[in-house]
Amino acid sequence: MYEEYSSEHKEFIRKEKVTNNAVMISRIIILVALFALWEVAAEMRWIDPFIMSQPSRIVKTMVNLSKDGSLFLHTGVTIYETIIGFVSGTILGTLVAIVLWWSSFTARVLDPYLVVLNALPKTALGPIILVWVGGTTGSIIVMALLLSIIVTILNVYQSFKSCDEDKIKLLKTFGATKIQILRKVVFPSSIPEIISTLKINVGLSLVGVIVGEFLVSKAGLGHLIIYGGQVFKMDLVMTSVIILAIAAALMYLSVAWIEKKFVKMR
Amino acid sequence: MDKVVELKNVTMNYHTLEGETQAIKNLSLDIRRGEFVSIVGPSGCGKSTLLSLISGLIKSSTGEILINNEPVVGLASNVGYMPQRDHLFEWLTILRNTTIGLEIQKKLNKDTLRNAERLLEEYGLGEFKYYYPKQLSGGMRQRAALIRTLAVNPEILLLDEPFSSLDYQTRLAISEEIWLIIKKEKKTAILVTHDIAEAVSMSDRIIVLTRRPGEVKSEHDIQLTTCENKTPIICREAPEFRIYFNKIWKELDVHV
C-alpha cells in the first residue's frame, strides 16, 4: 500500500486532480453567476421581480416558511408520497413481472395492453383517479404508482427473460423446479436491473406526485407551486421549485448510493 | 465390460414454425463403465443435443436411451452436466456455487457439505472457497465448475465443450487437470468437442458423427504408446497421436 510511485505517475495523478478540481469549480461558478446575475437584474429593475422573483426574496420566503414549519411539512409530504410511490411501484411491478415470466401465455396475452399503457401519458388519468379515489393522499400515491409500475414491469420482465439460458439449463440438469430457477438464478441475476429501475422510478414517481398534488392541492410542494401561481406569489413558486430540485436530487443520490453499496457487496 | 449408457436407434427432431429439423438420425452407441469417450463431429451435427438427450433434459423423438439398463424417464439422476462456460453465479461464493446442485436437490447436509469442501481442498481451491468467482482465474473457475458437478456425486459426466471458452495455454493445462480429477474420482465421461487433438489426448475412444442429421460415422479405440502414467499432455507426444489426428481430420471432411 505504501509503495513509492514514480514521478511520472505522481505527475499523472496531479494532472487528473487538477482537471477534477477545474470541473468542480466551473460548476460552482455557473451556479453562483446565475444567481448573482438574477439578483442584480432584479435589483436594477432590468427584470420585474414580481414576475421573475429574486434570490434574496426566495431566501426570505424560505426563512418565513421554515419559521412556521410549513416548509418542512410540505417538503416532507412530497418526499413521503414519492418514496411510497416508487417503492410500491417497484415491488408491485416486480411481482407482476414474476407472473409474466412464470406464464409465458399470460405474457403474450397482456403484451399489447402493456404496450398501450406504456405509451399512454399516465398523467391524463389524473382527473379519473381524483374522482375514483377522492381528493386525498391516496390519489397522489396511486398517480405516482401508476407512473412507475408500467416501466418497472417492462424492464424487470425483460431482464428476467434475458437471463442466460445456459445457466437455467445448468440448474435444470440438477433437477431444479421452476420456483427454484426463479429463486436461484433468474431473480438474483436481475437484482442490478431492479435497483436501476428503482432509480428511474424516483423521477417518475416524483412527476406523479407533483401532478397529483396539483390536482388534490392540499399539501406538498406541488400544492405550494399551484397555490403560489394562482395568487401570483412567484417567490413562493420559485422557492418551491428550488426545494423540489434539491429534494429530487437527494432522493436520486440516495438510491444511487444504495446501488453502489449493493454492487460492491456482490 | 458393462454398459453404463446405451442409445438404441435414437432420432431427434426439432420443430419450429419454419419447419422441422432432424438433428440426430438413427443413432446407436454404448458407453462402458469408467470409459472416457469423446464425440467429435462437424459443427451443428447434434453433439450437444446428444448430451441433452442422455441427461434427460429433452426427450428423443424415437428410439431408446438406457442408463444402467434402465430407460431414462424424466431427468437422469446419476448424470452430471458440465456446460461450455463455467456459469458460476457471480453473487455466490465459490463454496456456495459448488453446493448449488446439492441445494437444489435438497441434499445439502453436513456430509455432502464436507465432501464439497474436501473436493475444493483437494483440487487447490480450499483457500478460495469464500472468494467470489470474478476473483478467480479462468482455469480456477473451470475447476470450481467441475467440483460443482462432482458435488452431487454423479456416475457419468457429460462435458459439453467445457474448455472452449479458455485461451490455448489455459486450455491445455486445465484439460490435463480435469482429466486427472475425472480419473481419480473414477467417473465415466462423455466429452463433446470440436478439438481433435483434445479428443485424441484425453479419450479411450472417439466417436465421429456425420454432418446433420448426426449419425455415427466411425469409432476409434485410442491406443497410444506412452509411459505408465499417461496424461493428456504426455499423450500428445505419442507417435500414434498424429496418425489418429489425421485419420479423424479426414473423416470430418471439412470444407470451408
Q: Is B85 on the interface with A (CB under 8 A)?
A: yes
Whether chain B has a CB inside 8 Å of the CB on A191: the answer is yes
pLDDT at A264: 67
Residue of chain A whose alpha carbon sits nearest to that of B132? A266
Q: Does A183 touch chain B (CB under 8 A)?
A: no
Which one of B59, B104, B149 makes the best mutation probe of the A interface by having the most chain A beta carbons within 10 Å?
B104
Q: Do A170 and B83 touch (CB under 8 A)?
A: yes
Residue A170 and residue B85: Cβ atoms within 8 Å? no
> Of A171, A174, A189, which to mutate for an interface test with B (greatest number of B Cβ within 10 Å)?
A174
Q: What is the pLDDT, as a whole number, of residue B1?
A: 60
Contacting residues of B for A180, CB less than 8 Å apart:
104
Confidence of residue A58 (pLDDT cuts 50, 70, 90): very high
State residue A261's pLDDT score. 84
Cβ of A173 and B79 within 8 Å?
yes
Rounded Cα gap, residues B231 and A191, in angstroms: 43
- Is the predicted pLDDT of residue A1 greater than 90, yes or no? no
CB contact under 8 A, A167 and B104: no
**Average pLDDT rounded to a whole number, residues A120-142:** 92
Q: For residue A217, with 0-12 CB atoms within 10 Å meaning exposed, 13-18 middle and 19 or more buried, which class applies?
A: middle
CA separation (Å) from B148 to A31, A156, B35, B114, B126? 57, 29, 21, 13, 14
A173-232: per-residue pLDDT in tens?
999 999 999 999 999 999 989 988 998 899 999 999 999 999 988 899 999 999 999 999
Taking all residues of chain A, what is their mean pLDDT, rounded to a whole number? Answer: 92
Measured CA to CA in angstroms, residue B10 lies from B181, B211, B216 at distances of: 31, 16, 11
Average of per-residue pLDDT values in chain B = 88
Phi and psi dihedrals of B15, rounded to 5?
-115, 130
B132 interaction partners in chain A (CB closer than 8 Å)? 266
Per-residue cell: B186: 473414477
Looking at residue B210, the DSSP 8-state letter turns out to be P
CB pairs under 8 A between A and B: 47
Coil, strand, or helix at residue B227?
A: coil
Cβ-contact A145, A209 below 8 angstroms: no
pLDDT of residue B255: 67
A171 with B100: Cβ contact below 8 A: yes
Identify the CA nearest to A176 among candidates A164, A165, A186, A184.
A184
The pLDDT of B105-130, averaged and rounded, is 92
Q: What is the distance in angstroms between the Cα of B171 and the nearest Cα belonging to chain A? A: 21
Rounded CA separation B179/B231 (Å)? 8
Residues of chain A found within 8 Å of residue B154, distances taken between Cβ atoms: none
Q: How far apart are CA A56 and CA A24, in angstroms?
A: 25
pLDDT at A25 over 80: yes
- pLDDT over 80 at B33, yes or no: yes
Contacts of A173 in chain B (CB under 8 A): 55, 57, 75, 79-81
Which has more confidence, A130 or B213?
A130
Confidence of residue A42 (pLDDT cuts 50, 70, 90): very high
DSSP per residue over chain A, as a string? --PPPPHHHHHHHHHHHHHHHHHHHHHHHHHHHHHHHHHHHHHTTSS-HHHH--HHHHHHHHHHHHHTTHHHHHHHHHHHHHHHHHHHHHHHHHHHHHHHHH-HHHHHHHHHHHHHHHHS-GGGGHHHHHHHH-SSHHHHHHHHHHHHHHHHHHHHHHHHHTS-HHHHHHHHHTT--HHHHIIIIIHHHHHHHHHHHHHHHHHHHHHHHHHHHHHH-SSSHHHHHHHHHHTT-HHHHHHHHHHHHHHHHHHHHHHHHHHHHHHHH-
Average pLDDT of the segment spanning B243-252: 87
Cβ within 8 Å, pair B75-A171: no
pLDDT at B241: 86
Indicate the residue of A164, A184, A266 with minimum beta-carbon distance to B104: A184
pLDDT at residue number A265: 61
Task: Sheet with B70-71: list strands edge to edge.
Answer: B19-32, B3-16, B62-67, B70-71
Q: Are A213 and A74 in contact (CB under 8 A)?
A: no
CA–CA min distance A224, chain B (Å): 46
Nearest residue in A to B53, CA atom? A173
Pairing of strands B205-209, B36-40: parallel
Q: Does B134 touch chain A (CB under 8 A)?
A: no
CB-CB contact of B11 with B65 (8 Å): no
The amino acid at residue B17 is L
For residue A2, is pLDDT > 60?
no
The verdict on a CB contact (< 8 Å) between A191 and B91 is yes
**Residue pLDDT, tens place only, A60-94:** 999 999 998 899 999 999 999 999 999 999 999 99
The model's confidence at residue A266, banded by pLDDT at 50, 70 and 90, is low
pLDDT at B6 over 70: yes
Chain A residues with beta carbon closer than 8 angstroms to that of B104? 171, 174-176, 180, 184
Q: Is residue B91 within 8 angstroms of chain A, CB to CB? A: yes
State the pTM of this model: 0.85
With beta carbons less than 8 A apart as the criterion, state whether B210 and B22 touch.
no
Q: At what angle do helices A70-102 and A104-119 cross, to 10 degrees?
A: 140
C-alpha–C-alpha distance, residues B190 and B38, integer Å: 6
Using a pLDDT cut of 90, give the percent of chain B over it.
34
Contact with chain A for residue B84, Cβ under 8 A: yes
**Are B91 and A266 an interchain contact pair (Cβ–Cβ within 8 Å)?**
yes
E-state strands within B47-173: 62-67, 70-71, 79-82, 156-160
Q: What is the pLDDT of residues B36-77, one digit of tens each?
A: 999 998 877 788 888 989 998 888 899 999 998 888 888 887
pLDDT of residue B253: 76
Whether the CA torsion A186, A192, A193, A194 is positive or negative: it is positive
Give the mean pLDDT of A162-181: 92
C-alpha dist (Å) from residue A3 to A9, A10, A15, A16, B120: 12, 12, 20, 19, 34
- Does residue A129 contact residue A143 with C-beta atoms inside 8 Å? yes
CA angle A138, A157, A250 (to 5 degrees): 50
Q: What does the pLDDT read at residue B165?
A: 78
Contacts of B112 in chain A (CB under 8 A): none
The phi and psi torsions of B208 (rounded to 5 degrees) equal -100, 130
Structure-block grid coordinates of residue A230: 394562482
Reported confidence tier of residue B246, pLDDT bands at 50, 70, 90 = confident
What's the pLDDT at A21?
A: 95
Measured in angstroms, the CA of A169 and the nearest CA of chain B are apart by 8
Neighboring chain A residues of B57 at a CB cutoff of 8 Å: 169, 172-173
If pLDDT is split at 50, 70 and 90, which confidence band does A157 have? very high
Of B87, B104, B105, the CB nearest to A166: B87
The whole-angstrom separation of Cα A175 and Cα A178 is 10
Place B256 in a pLDDT band, splitting at 50, 70 and 90. low
Record: contact B100-A180, CB cut-off 8 A: no
Residue A199: count of CB within 10 angstroms of its CB: 16
